[in-house]
Amino acid sequence: MKNKYIAAVEASNMKKDVPDFEVGDTVSVGVKIVEGNKERIQPFIGVVIGRKGGGMTESFTVRRIVNNEGVERIFPLHSPRIASIEVQRHGKTRRAKLYYLRDRVGKSRRLRERRVFKKKGDAQVSGVAPAAESHKAEPEPAAV
């Protein structure tokens, strides 16, 4: 059970625009980098291999390959250093942590794509267009 004052301070510092992403998704994390008196945003693109924590302490781990070397970075979800998080691809997984990807090389490192249906109101909309009225089977006229 959390103290109500701590919960109020955490709620004021939490980001409201966090996208919906899961373990296995390929994300582009825009990280604010300060060089001298300039500030720029550098993307870190990789696969989310783990999430942990909750509330203000929630963090996620992103893994990518740079010069045939695996690089992992842990990002606090509500950090002010994170400018943006964009989901580029949804991966299909059956695990909560994908640490086994550290040992994989080449094509075996890839994950299958997961289909995601976007919600429009309460009804879900898939990528398939509904059948038009003209394509429905019409009863044939009776022969006289």
Q: How many domains does the chain have?
A: 1
Give the domain range for residue 70.
Answer: 4-128
Establish if 136 belongs to a structural domain.
no
Predicted confidence (pLDDT) at residue 136 exceeds the cutoff of 50 = no
| CATH number of the domain encompassing residue 77 | 2.30.30.790
- Give the pair of three-digit tokens for residue 115: 């289909």
Quick one: which of 68, 69, 85 has its CA closest to 15?
A: 85
Establish if 19 belongs to a structural domain.
yes
Q: For residue range 4-59, what is the model confidence (pLDDT) as tens digits?
A: 898 888 888 898 989 999 999 999 999 999 999 999 999 999 999 999 998 889 99
Establish if 54 belongs to a structural domain.
yes
CB-based burial, 77-102: b 16+ in 10 Å, e otherwise: bbeeebbebeeeebbebeeeebeebe
Establish if 142 belongs to a structural domain.
no
pTM above 0.85, yes or no: no
Predicted confidence at residue 69, as pLDDT, reads 92
Establish if 139 belongs to a structural domain.
no
Establish if 122 belongs to a structural domain.
yes
Q: For residue range 105-118, what is the model confidence (pLDDT) as tens digits?
A: 888 988 899 888 87
Establish if 140 belongs to a structural domain.
no
Predicted confidence at residue 65, as pLDDT, reads 94
Q: Do residues 89 and 28 make contact, with C-beta atoms less than 8 angstroms apart?
A: no
Establish if 52 belongs to a structural domain.
yes
